Structures are given as C-alpha cells and as structure tokens.
Chain A
Amino acid sequence: MDLVAFLETLWLARIPILKGIGVTVSISVLAILVGTVLGVGVGLALTYGAKPLRWLVRGYTDFIRGTPVLVLVLASYYVLGTIGIDLGPFQAGVLALAVFCSSHVGEIVRGALQSIPKGQTEAAKAIGLTFPQTFAYVLGPQALRQVLPAWVNTAAEMVKASTLLSIIGVAELLLRTQELISRTFMSLEFYFFAGFLYFAVNYGIERFGRYVERKTSIPS
C-alpha cells in the first residue's frame, strides 16, 4: 500500500472523520449516561422493589438482554414511528442503545448490591440508620466499587455497539469510513484506521476505569 497516498487522502478527509468520531462519542456518552441512570433504577427495583415491580422489571431486563442490539436499533427506528413516536435516526439509535445499556447496568447493580453481606445492613440498622441512610453511606459506596469494572466493560460495549447505528443512516465513524472507502477504494487502510480509532476510545475508557478503581480502592 502507498503510505503517502493514504496519508494524503486521510488529510483531505479529516473533517468527515472527525465529525464521525464526534458523532460516535456523542452517541456513546449519551447512551451510557441515560443507560446508567435507568440501569441504577432497574438494579434498585430488582433488589428492593415490591414483588410486582420486581417481576415487571425482571421481564424487561430478560427481554432486552435476550434481544440482539441490532434488532433494538431497527425496532426503535422503524417500529416506534408506526405508533406515532417519530424519532430521527440519531435519537432512535441512542434510545435503543440506552435501553440495552440499562438492562446490563441493572443486572450489574443488582449483583453488586446482593453481594454485600447482610451483616452490613444489620450493623447500620443497629446504630439507628434509616434505610435511605444505610444505602447512601454503607451499601451504595460498597456497591459502587464492585460495579466499576463491569460498568467499564459495558461502556466499551456501547462504543462498539454504536457502529450499528450506521444501518439506520447515522453518520457516525463507521458510516463515514464506508463513504470514504467507496470514494477512494482504500478499504484495508481506512477500515484499519477506523479500528484503531475505536480501540483508542475504548482504551481511554478502560484506563479511566482503572484510575478510578485505584483511587477508590479500600486499603487492606
């Protein structure tokens, strides 16, 4: 391959590529944020919810987790329109990813909360803490530390899943790359380059996760 020709083309295409990265990062950040907020709610409902609520939320997570993300993306874009909820491709895509993310984060949060020994709650009760206080000062901080590694994984999965939005025409990094390739026929070079960019974003997320983990680790 001709490195000079590739770099020249890359320079000429820098604006669409940067835009693509911008869209990919926006999709991921929004999906992760919304998905995490929803997911914490899902996790709390699964752990502490009254039975009917728990069953309902359990049904939701099992259904979402058993569905391919691509199907969620397509459904969110094409099906919601038929029932009067008309979303643009970007919004529909983010919604689908956020829903997917929430079911995974929900399971992670539930697992973390349930892994905390019962004695912790009892000790908190014994000194007179109410349940909200127990959650805020005793259970939450311990669960957070447990959640972190799995949450970083999920966040990286969301970045990768954002490529699926190219199917419904969201001009994220993969779609921009494909457009570029169809003009320049440099498929190997640009797919490799796109792959490298995804890796860089996810590597950054992973490093950040490690950093937070180190900062919050409990001395022993």
Chain B
Amino acid sequence: MTGNLLEIRDLHKRYGDVEVLKGVDCTMAQGDVISIIGSSGSGKTTMLRCINMLEEFQGGSIRIDGEEIGYETSGGTRRRKKEKEIARQRAMTGMAFQQFNLFPHMSAAENVMLGLVKVKGMRRDEARALAEKWLDRVGLAERRDRYPGQLSGGQQQRVAIARAIAMNPKLMLFDEVTSALDPELVNEVLQVIKDLARDGMSMLLVTHEMRFAYEVSSRVIFMNQGRIGEEGNPREMFHKPQTERLAEFLKTSTFN
C-alpha cells in the first residue's frame, strides 16, 4: 500500500460514444483539501461522482485507503462489485450536492440520523445526540426539528453537510455546493467548509468559487476536456498559470 487516502489511476468514463474522462490520475493524502476547477463539461463533477460510484466508469481504478472501489478484477475480467459491498464503500465517503437533496419528509435531525441508524446501526438516542452535535457545529442547533421546506437554501446545505460529516467519512466530496445558493447565503456554507478543513478533514471540492478555492485548498486541479490540464498549489496556479487554457479560464472566471 502506498499510504495514500485516495488513488485514482487512469480513470476512463464514457456516456455512449462520448468519452468524458480520458485517463485521469490523482492521488491525495490524509488531510489534503483539493479543489477541482474547470469549465462546465470538463468532467470535474463526473470525476467526483465516480469516487462514490454514483457514476459507473469503464476503465482505470479508484482506491480509498488502498481498497478498490466499485469493481473487482479476477481472471482478467472486470466486474462490478455487489450492491451491498458498493453501499458499504459509499459510506467511506460523504457527499454534499449542488441541490442539497435533503429528504423533505424528515426534520433536519432525522436527515442526519437516518444514515447513523440504518447504515451504522447506532441506537436512536445515540444517533440523535450525534446529529445534534453536528447540527450545532454547522450553526443550526435551534433548527434541528425544522423540515427542509422551512429552511433557507444555505441552512439546507449546512444540514446536508452535517448529514454527510456525521457518518464520519474518510473523505468528503463537495459538488458545487454553493452554485444553487443566493449570493448572500454562499458565505455561511463556505465558512462551514473552511472550519472542516481547519479540523483536518480530507476533502475534494468541485467549485466555481475561485477566491474560496484559493484560500482553502492545499492543491488545485484544473480539468480540461476530460483530462487534468494542470495541477499545483493554488498560489502558483492562480498567479502563474502554465498553460494557456488555464490562463484563459482564470480570465473568464470571477476571482474576487
């Protein structure tokens, strides 16, 4: 084992005839915060979704803590792992979505508790306590019994982050978590993510918030047409882009 938390090797993903990931390699150590930037259609969200098998992929491998995700190869044939096994592997990562995707028929606390009780097999009172602790951490202690429909977008997204974090994942995946938010609600969500980064949470973020990527990331990956166009530490990337594509992309994105 290499000791890497995440190891992506030659990842290929096709939708029919269209190849959206054309061989992506990426490694990540414990505690790394990596932002993935790039124009839409460059494959950044797809790459993120392959890591927890929300997307199938046709070639390459993904390992988390040395464990191969989603597929197994025996005797030269590659097979999708059993559903139950994939479900277990999905719980190794947590994910926050652009559209929050809270369960509308459950209160904030119940949203957080569901995975704890049904996946981790926790007792309800234990799960309740943990859910309250995390809702408190994202600043929503007093809203724990509200339903998603009674919360603002920013509050919903913070509940969604608490729901993922409470499962104690090895790696958090953030998929454009502020893109659906009104501008004045963006900061409260980014602040939560920054706090998590400070606590040493390993995370992989797809984001359009360049200032945020600059501040929070230990490394930035620029995706371009299904490949990694450039990667490095944020200071070098943003101030001295090596490729023309990245320079162009940075010019057109807001960095304020």
Contact = CB atoms under 8 A, between A and B. Distances in A.
Contacts of A130: 83-84, 87
A128 B91 contact: yes
A129 B119 contact: yes
B101 A123 contact: yes
A127 B88 CA distance: 9
Size range of the chain B interface in the assembly: 20 to 34
A55 interface: no
Contacts, number: 78
A120 B84 contact: no
Interface string B181-207: 000000000000000000000000000
A120 B103 contact: yes
Interface stretch (A86-94, A138-146, A153-161): A138-146
B147 A220 contact: yes
Residue of A117, A126, A128, A219 with highest tally of chain B CB at under 10 A: A126
Nearest to B111: A123
Given A128-B90, A129-B87, A142 B105 contact: yes
B118 interface: yes
A117 B102 CA distance: 11
Given A133-B118, A219-B147, A127 B164 contact: yes
Interface of B: 52-54, 83-84, 87-88, 90-91, 93-95, 97, 99, 101-105, 114-115, 118-119, 146-147, 149-150, 160, 163-164, 167
16 contacts: A119-B99, A122-B101, A123-B160, A126-B97, A127-B91, A127-B114, A127-B163, A127-B167, A129-B87, A130-B87, A137-B103, A137-B114, A138-B103, A218-B104, A219-B147, A220-B149
Interface of A: 117, 119-120, 122-131, 133, 137-138, 141-142, 145, 218-220
